[in-house]
Amino acid sequence: MVSDGTLTPEALAARARANGVQLWALTDHDEISGQHRAAAAAHALGMDYLTGVEISVTFINTTVHIVGLGFDADDARLAQGLAATRGGRGERAREIAGQLARVGIPGAYEGALCYVGNPALISRTHFARYLVDTGVCRDMGEVFRKYLTEGKPGFVPHYWAELRDAVRWIREAGGMAVIAHPARYRFTANEEYALFSEFRQHGGQGVEVVTGSHSSAEYRIYADMAQEFGLAASRGSDFHSPNESHTDLGTLPDLPAQLTPVWDLLAHRILHAPQGLAAA
Ligand code: AMP
Ligand code: MN
Give all domains of the chain, ordered by start, each with its CATH number: 9-86+162-269 (3.20.20.140), 89-146 (1.10.150.650)
Q: Which ligand is nearest to the CA of 63?
A: 1
pLDDT at 120: 81
Residue 93 is which amino acid?
A
- Between CA 220 and CA 228 the distance in angstroms is 12
- Between CA 183 and CA 20 the distance in angstroms is 27
Q: Which ligand is nearest to the CA of 245?
A: 1
Cβ-based neighbour number of residue 28 at 10 Å? 22
Among 144, 159, 214, the mutation site with the greatest number of ligand 1 atoms within 8 A of its Cβ is: 144
pTM: 0.94
pLDDT at 15: 98
CA of 220 from ligand 2 middle (Å) equals: 24
Give the residues of the chain that fall short of pLDDT 50. 279-280
Nearest ligand 1 atom to alpha carbon 123:
3
Nearest ligand 1 atom to alpha carbon 3:
10
- Please check whether residue 32 is in contact with residue 3, taking contact to mean a CB–CB distance below 8 angstroms: no
Nearest residue (by CA) to ligand 1, atom 7, is: 125
CA of 66 from ligand 1 middle (Å) equals: 14
CA of 108 from ligand 2 middle (Å) equals: 19
- Please check whether residue 13 is in contact with residue 36, taking contact to mean a CB–CB distance below 8 angstroms: no
Nearest residue (by CA) to ligand 1, atom 21, is: 141
- Between CA 207 and CA 222 the distance in angstroms is 8
Q: At what angle do helices 189-201 and 163-172 cross, to 10 degrees?
A: 30
CA of 275 from ligand 2 middle (Å) equals: 33
pLDDT at 280: 46
Nearest ligand 1 atom to alpha carbon 56:
2
pLDDT at 1: 61
pLDDT at 275: 73
